[in-house]
Structure 1
Amino acid sequence: MSIKFRLTLMSFLQFFVWGAWLITVGNYWFATKQWSGAEFGAIFSTLGLSSIFMPALTGIIADRWINAEKLYGGLHILGGLALAYIPMVDNPTSFFWVIFIAMLCYMPTISLSNSIAYNILKNNKFDVIKVFPPIRVWGTVGFIIAMWITNLSGNKASANMFYISAFAAIVLGIYSFSLPKCAPQNLTSKDASFTELLGLNAFKLFGTYKMALFFIFSMFLGGALQLTNMYGDTFLSDFSKVPEYADSFVVRYSTIIMSISQISETLFILAIPFFLKRFGIKQVMLISMIAWVLRFGLFAYGNPSGGLWMIILSCIVYGMAFDFFNISGSLFVETSTDSSIRSSAQGLFMMMTNGFGAVIGSSASGYLIDTYFTHTGVKDWQNIWLTFAVYALIIAIFFAFMFKHKHDPNAVENVSH
């Protein structure tokens, strides 16, 4: 098998594991287990909490002590075992802790998979900027296929979703041991400082103005990443409370409508090399931020009838909003850091976006929605989405003025020196 195909298979399984349960876990929680809504919010917080320290920690370990592909494989096997145990859990508290363990293993593998792919591609003399996006797009395909398998097999409210995910995780874990070796750089001298010995050099990136700003804005934009995963399907389903929309296509097939967002990703991932080459990282991230404004704004005014086009367009725009930030940001980190701290830097990016950003976003949005936008049990979705849109617009304006970067389309970006 070619290197590209092997990495494509890794990417496919990486996100298949997530897609098998992430969008449908609410159905299992509410319909099957009939647990309360208040405790459900904690499930999504496990993604953020585990991303605060695990990606950075595993990145340091991969840079210093253990082959990245072996660490990656071990985490997937352990995470798969935790997912397989979830159906045996019979109360919300235990569910939280088991899913938390699963996420402690899974979330760092996202940045590790990027690191492994970059390492292997570079060792085989490939152009990472051009070759990686077409490989990564199969991760999104894996997410979509897993989501549809779970739904079409009648398991969107069944414990079987976790068995499907667990099986894929364990298969991926075993498969990863066959990947080309990604050995630790271990370039530390005998006179290394305590910080260097612990592999914490990546945190020195905060000492560079441009990188510090990049990570800070990544954190703030990261607060928007999980908002539509958390509330999107609920928003569409709530149209059932409006008599004229109660039996609409949007209400009956809300999950399929939401899957347009992931389908859109596959197209925009492939466009990333062109946009990065033509416009550079600043403009691409700015486009992402404006896309988030549109994502939320279109949801605010969309409805299952005359406003259906807004809902669909919002889902299409999501691909640009998510990928132009997540994938381009990862490529920027890869081309802007020294090889000795590359895995650590990817973990740091993951920590700021899916860690601190996600925790801040989920906590703040939950508080705002419950306090200001929920009246007698009914959510004011229009003002909820408009608030999120204003948030994204403010970030975009500050980023445009504060992040200084001159793009050279003929040079590899390097801002670490």
Structure 2
Amino acid sequence: MSVKLRLTIMSFLEFAVWGAYLTSMGNYLGSVGLGPKIGLFYAMQGIVSIFMPAIMGIVADRWIPVQRLLGLNHLFAAIFMFATGYYGMTAGDNVDFATIFTLYSFSVAFFMPTIALSNSTAYTILKQNNLDTIKAFPPIRTMGTVGFIVAMLFVNFFGTKDGSFGFNFSSDPTFLSFQSNYYQFLVSGVLGIILFFFSFVLPKCEINKSGEKQTLSDALGFKAFALFKDKKMAIFFIFSMLLGVSLQITNGYANPFISLFKEMPNYSNTWGANNANALISLSQVSETLCILLIPFFLKRFGIKIVMLMAMVGWVLRFGLFGLGDPGSGVWMFILSMIVYGIAFDFFNVSGSLYVDKETDKNIRSSAQGVFMMMTNGFGATIGMLVAQYIVNHFVFSHTDLDQQLEGWRISWFIFAGYALVVTILFAIIFKYKHDPKAIENISH
């Protein structure tokens, strides 16, 4: 088996583990009475992302080869994910929040660092085999998104009916899909165990033997916080956090929102209402395709315009959810999924390139760490906690379905309004002069 093929399988499994539950967990939590707590589960991913990747990075640098640590983290994450699913199975409708949240939190604490560890593993192995990382890595990473999509589709279309397991591709409301129950956690656990064993067939990565050891302070990116003294960089990082607020909202709430339509007679037999995860998977398809567009748009329009396009994408992402439905308005849901690729990719990739261009090479890695901390750490955590308050107030405080639907629409419009305000402020405050040659240099 070639090196590239092994890394491709690793990337596929890495994101399949996540895709098995990330977009459907909110649906399950809502079905067992924990709808008002959905935000906490997604916020935990942001909280552990602030410090766990840095700690595991130091472990990989000093003591355990990165490919081995990747496998071990997946093993522990899978054990706790199995425990989460098993507890859900035994508890039925009487799920205790503290118990399931604790088990889930331990699982994501071990899983979130694996995203960085899998990248480090791929880069290290490619370099050890004298392969060009710029050319070889993107196709490998793209298969990670494919793995995410495949896992999403599996938990959407596989489930139970009349006590037997099988696939269902129709809009049969009596079919109990894995996307609405605890089985999604068990699927994630199985995939994690597979990746643990697969890590043993990956080429061995050497531990860093250099005398210069990275401290925890360095790994957390504290050195790069000096960049906040630069007004332009400070503004950029602040807006990164403000936009990061939007990152996890639809992962947590899109599925429960779309699945609500199953309870309404006018929409109960529509394909979209009964296959929310499959509908949402179009977002990941769009994400895969939009990665290919970034070099053209960056060179043609520059980083500021590309990031503004991402911000407008978030406005449309939320606004179309508020306007659409799985019936005659399903086209709005589909369009919302399509613009997600622009909203997510154009922000993350262009932002990362901007940090790379504007920072000194001695603190470039730390600066990237600050960017990720501000977006996926602080921004996403704050976003989910605030979103939870809004959704609880407008949606879960009601029992009437029509009131809940109206509450969902109000919530989506609030999120869209927030994204619009951030877009306008960024356009006014952030100053940047586009230089096509500079973009061309950093993209090579």
Place the TM-score, normalised by the shorter chain, in its bin. Answer: 0.7 to 0.9
Per mean C-alpha deviation after superposition, the further-off stretch among 139-148 and 68-77 is 68-77
Say which SS state the counterpart of residue 245 (structure 1) adopts.
Answer: coil
Is residue 36–residue 396 contact of structure 2 (8 Å, CA) maintained in 1?
A: no
Cα distance between partner residues in 2 of 1:332 and 1:339: 13
Per mean C-alpha deviation after superposition, the further-off stretch among 11-20 and 72-81 is 72-81
For the structure 1 residues 126 and 275, does the alpha-carbon distance in structure 2 shift closer, same or farther, using more than 3 Å as the test? farther
Matched letter for residue 339 of structure 2: V
**What is the match of residue 102 of structure 2?**
97
Cα offsets for 1:319-366 (capped at 9, x unmatched) = 211122234434555566566656554443332222211211111112
**What is the match of residue 161 of structure 1?**
184
* Pairwise CA distance, 1:55: 2.7
**What is the match of residue 162 of structure 2?**
none
Matched letter for residue 287 of structure 2: E
Cα distance between partner residues in 1 of 2:408 and 2:181: 28
Is residue 115–residue 343 contact of structure 1 (8 Å, CA) maintained in 2?
A: no
**What is the match of residue 397 of structure 1?**
424
Is residue 78–residue 107 contact of structure 2 (8 Å, CA) maintained in 1?
A: yes
For the structure 1 residues 119 and 194, does the alpha-carbon distance in structure 2 shift closer, same or farther, using more than 3 Å as the test? closer
CA RMSD of aligned residues (A): 3.4
**What is the match of residue 69 of structure 2?**
71
For the structure 1 residues 333 and 156, does the alpha-carbon distance in structure 2 shift closer, same or farther, using more than 3 Å as the test? same
1:85 to 83, 88, 97: 83
* Pairwise CA distance, 1:100: 0.4
1:307 matched to 2:329? The reply is: yes
For the structure 1 residues 206 and 72, does the alpha-carbon distance in structure 2 shift closer, same or farther, using more than 3 Å as the test? farther
Matched letter for residue 316 of structure 1: I
Cα distance between partner residues in 2 of 1:184 and 1:14: 24
1:108 matched to 2:113? The reply is: yes
**What is the match of residue 126 of structure 1?**
132
Per mean C-alpha deviation after superposition, the further-off stretch among 157-166 and 16-25 is 157-166
For the structure 1 residues 65 and 210, does the alpha-carbon distance in structure 2 shift closer, same or farther, using more than 3 Å as the test? farther
1:265 matched to 2:287? The reply is: yes
Per mean C-alpha deviation after superposition, the further-off stretch among 337-346 and 216-225 is 337-346
For the structure 1 residues 263 and 104, does the alpha-carbon distance in structure 2 shift closer, same or farther, using more than 3 Å as the test? same
1:362 matched to 2:384? The reply is: yes
For the structure 1 residues 85 and 252, does the alpha-carbon distance in structure 2 shift closer, same or farther, using more than 3 Å as the test? closer
1:150 matched to 2:174? The reply is: no
2:435 to 398, 408, 412: 408
* Pairwise CA distance, 1:48: 2.0
Cα offsets for 1:60-85 (capped at 9, x unmatched) = 55566655444333322221222122
Cα distance between partner residues in 2 of 1:193 and 1:51: 18
Matched letter for residue 161 of structure 1: Q
Matched letter for residue 101 of structure 2: F
Per mean C-alpha deviation after superposition, the further-off stretch among 54-63 and 337-346 is 337-346
Matched letter for residue 273 of structure 2: V
Cα offsets for 1:118-148 (capped at 9, x unmatched) = 55556746363x6544332211110111122
Cα offsets for 1:184-221 (capped at 9, x unmatched) = 485649xx999569974344444444443333222211
Cα offsets for 1:292-330 (capped at 9, x unmatched) = 111112222212333221111111111211122234434
Long gaps (5+) in structure 2: 160-177
What percentage of residue pairs aligned between the two structures are identical? 48
What's the TM-score once normalised by structure 1's chain length? 0.84
Cα distance between partner residues in 1 of 2:215 and 2:102: 37
1:8 matched to 2:44? The reply is: no
Cα distance between partner residues in 1 of 2:318 and 2:365: 33
**What is the match of residue 349 of structure 1?**
371
Matched letter for residue 181 of structure 1: C
What's the TM-score once normalised by structure 2's chain length? 0.79
1:57 to 42, 55, 62: 55
2:258 to 232, 236, 240: 236
1:226 matched to 2:248? The reply is: yes
Number of corresponding residues: 410
Cα distance between partner residues in 2 of 1:306 and 1:194: 54
Long gaps (5+) in structure 1: none
